Copies of this chain bind each other. A is one copy, B any other.
């Protein structure tokens, strides 16, 4: 599949690229991995595949190390928009897939407030 093109971005290899923090801090410190991050990532990947959104010109669901916004964990970020999400369960992931990744509509209720950091 050819890379996705828009006027804003002449070459965007993935139309939307979502990164899930799967970090596990040492010494048992609180981290995304302890709050269902792996399950959220796996469910998102399955859903994106199932919807046939996966691949160049479409959506990529990616593992990431610490995104350094641990206070809002588990977190994920969608680029190129730079929209950050916090999620609790599969329903949240479903909404991110159906609304944002598929149709470009930000899921406002899951957006991480801008002041949430480490």
Contacts and interface: CB of A to CB of B under 8 A. Distances in A.
B82 A9 contact: yes
A69 B55 CA distance: 10
B67 A60 contact: yes
Interface centre among A9, A64, A82, A115 (most CB of B within 10 A): A82
The secondary structure that dominates the A interface is: loop
Contact of A3 (B2, B12, B14, B114): B114
Contacts of A104: none
A91 interface: no
A82 B11 contact: yes
Given A63-B65, A67-B62, A17 B117 contact: no
Interface of A: 2-3, 9, 11-14, 17, 19, 56, 60, 62-69, 77, 79-82, 84, 114-115, 117
The 10 closest A-B pairs by CB, nearest first: A63-B65, A79-B79, A3-B114, A80-B80, A12-B82, A80-B82, A11-B114, A64-B64, A9-B82, A62-B64
